[in-house]
Amino acid sequence: MKEMLTAAKAAKFEIAKLTTDEKNAALNAMADALVAHEAQILAANTLDMEAAKGTVSDVMLDRLKLTAARIAGMAQGIREVAALPDPVGHLLEEYTRGDGLKIRRMSVPMGVIGIIYESRPNVTSDAAALALKSGNACVLRGGKEAFCSANAIVAAMQTGLLQAGLPK
């Protein structure tokens, strides 16, 4: 965990200075990589599903289950995030104080965002995409039932990040 946090801290500076076009290219590369790694993701999900049977409810099993259509939906979700306006540098408030000092409040990246979420593998790609779009590095911690699926999704997205010239 310490290595992961150290890597995220180092990456935050590079991610924070990305242009909108660079972030969007990375997001689209992540989406493409998810689709390209569909077989590996589905194989990992099969392991999670087998381990979870009999230990979680049917509703939770349905949330855990991935299909080709769900992976395509995850990729589409990343592409939709890429199409959103860039939140970084957005002027939130501006005013002049009585002494003439101009104050501007702008949206900026936070740095490293830690996200803990339940065993829904699709949240892995959603959270990573939103963090990147907002110029942040992220560390993800999903539920134990989706461990293999989440790792396969992250590995695929990291391939996309590397293809876009960014740190994984």
**Sign of the C-alpha dihedral, residues 2, 34, 67, 47?**
negative
Q: What confidence score (pLDDT) does residue 4 get?
A: 86
Confidence band, pLDDT 50/70/90 cuts, at residue 90: very high
d(CA 70, CA 155): 17
In the chain, the largest separation of any two C-alpha atoms, in whole Å, equals: 68
Is the model's pLDDT at 119 over the cut of 90?
A: no
Q: What confidence score (pLDDT) does residue 25 get?
A: 97
Q: Per-residue pLDDT tens for 11-26?
A: 899 999 999 999 999 9
Q: What confidence score (pLDDT) does residue 2 get?
A: 87
Q: Per-residue pLDDT tens for 130-160?
A: 999 999 999 999 899 999 999 999 999 999 9
Determine phi and psi for 93, rounding to 5 degrees: -160, 145
Query: What proportion of the chain, given as a percentage, has pLDDT over 70?
Result: 100
